Structure 1
Amino acid sequence: MIGRITGTLIEKTPPVVCIDVGGIGYEIDVPMSTLYDLPETGARVTLYTHLAVREDAHTLYGFLSDKERSAFRLLIKVTGIGARTALSVLSGMTVDELGSAITQQETGRLTRVPGIGKKTAERLLLELRGKLGADLPSAPGTVSGGGREDIVNALLALGYSNSECQAALKKVPEGVEVAEGIRTALKSLSRT
């Protein structure tokens, strides 16, 4: 198993990078979050890797942190989630955002990722509950990631546009109850 690679970054062709290690160029599939954080070509880099061996291919996946690699490994264990979908999830959100979505059981945040439908999002929430994001603090019913989504959904249901909702959401302080957050947002909308 190849667990980590350190070498010279010689090519970035999304979603693949090539790293030269002792004269051998390793092609590594990476999530976009890793790709954006890599230095310019010619720089020395270290990636945590996961090697997937199949009949028709040996594919190396790379991540800037062990935390990302661990999340990838958890994702590919979920029924119906392959490596490409797992990379897509990690490209669309950070590990902490994913953990928060799982802890707060928010399908909406997951369905925003390309390739993740409602049923897949529900399966992810079910199978990863307690495995990813369990160490993140959560206060159900308060305005944080999921509470903010509840406020926006309530405002959208009342006929406000998405841009009006986002503007009103900026007036809502962190940590208040969702109901109070909706009242605050409605007050700010009535003043405009």
Structure 2
Amino acid sequence: MIESLTGKVDHVAAGYISVQINGIGYKVFCPNPFVYRAGSEMTVYTYQYVREDILALYGFASRQERDMFMKLLNVSGIGPKGAMAIMAFGQPDQVACAIEEEDEVFLTKFPGVGKKTARQIILDLKGKLADFTNSMPVAGGLFSDDAFKEEAASQLDEAVEALMVLGYAKKEIQKILPELKKESGTADEYVKRALRKLMTV
């Protein structure tokens, strides 16, 4: 099992990135590949999916994202494609809280998740996600410090670039920027929030 990869991002495409390590290029499927920049050094936490006709690497920005992906694979009726779609639009702690609170409305907002699938997710995972709900960040003091403000702006800029690569127009992105600026986060988190908001605009 490959736990993680650290190397240079050689190529970014829809659905995956290529990571170069010692002359070998690893194709890694990611929830939001466009948050990575070609030429940058990075570490991606991986899950190796093996079936009779499939051998694939799925990569995530954190172990927590990877672990939630693995939990979702244990749900009856959810495969890598469905689990990746959920991870592309939701943070692990948000998904975990929705499951623990049996919030079917929240879960059905994810692509490919209907009421039946949402109920199955709750049945299979409720009570098994303490590691995710216990690590939820405490809110407060957003953008109160100049250093944090600059970092947030940098992460937001990266997210905007990623959204434009995904095909969204500047006008569409500008409509949701005021809402995005209310919360801090990484570029990956901003992209996920933006995609959720763009789906409802």
TM-score using structure 2 length: 0.63
1:67 correspondence with 2:64: yes
For residues 7 and 119 of structure 2, what CA distance do their matches in structure 1 show? 39
1:23 correspondence with 2:23: yes
Q: How much does 1:86 deviate?
A: 0.3
Q: How many residues align?
A: 134
1:128 correspondence with 2:125: yes
Q: How much does 1:37 deviate?
A: 3.7
Computing the radius of gyration over CA atoms, which structure comes out larger, 1 or 2?
1
The Cα offsets for residues 158-189 of structure 1, whole Å up to 9 and x where unpaired, read as xxxxxxxxxxxxxxxxxxxxxxxxxxxxxxxx
1:88 correspondence with 2:85: yes
Matching residue's letter, 1:43: S
For residues 61 and 133 of structure 1, what CA distance do their matches in structure 2 show? 23
TM-score using structure 1 length: 0.66
Matching residue's letter, 1:82: G
Alignment map for 1:18-167 (pairs within 5 Å): 18-32=18-32, 35-38=33-36, 40-132=37-129, 136=133
Segments of structure 1 that go 5 or more residues without pairing to the other structure are 138-192
Q: How much does 1:135 deviate?
A: 5.8
CA contact (8 A) 1:15 1:29 kept: yes
For residues 103 and 115 of structure 1, what CA distance do their matches in structure 2 show? 20
Q: Which has the higher contact order (CA 8 A, sep 6+)?
A: 2
Matching residue's letter, 2:106: R
Q: How much does 1:49 deviate?
A: 0.4
Alignment map for 1:160-179 (pairs within 5 Å): none
CA RMSD of aligned residues (A): 1.4
In the other structure, the counterpart of 1:189 is none
SS at structure 2 position matched to 1:113: coil
Q: Give identity over the alignment, percent.
A: 36
Segments of structure 2 that go 5 or more residues without pairing to the other structure are 135-201
CA contact (8 A) 1:98 1:133 kept: no
SS at structure 2 position matched to 1:41: coil
For residues 17 and 129 of structure 2, what CA distance do their matches in structure 1 show? 27
Matching residue's letter, 2:49: A
1:12 correspondence with 2:9: no
In the other structure, the counterpart of 2:2 is 2
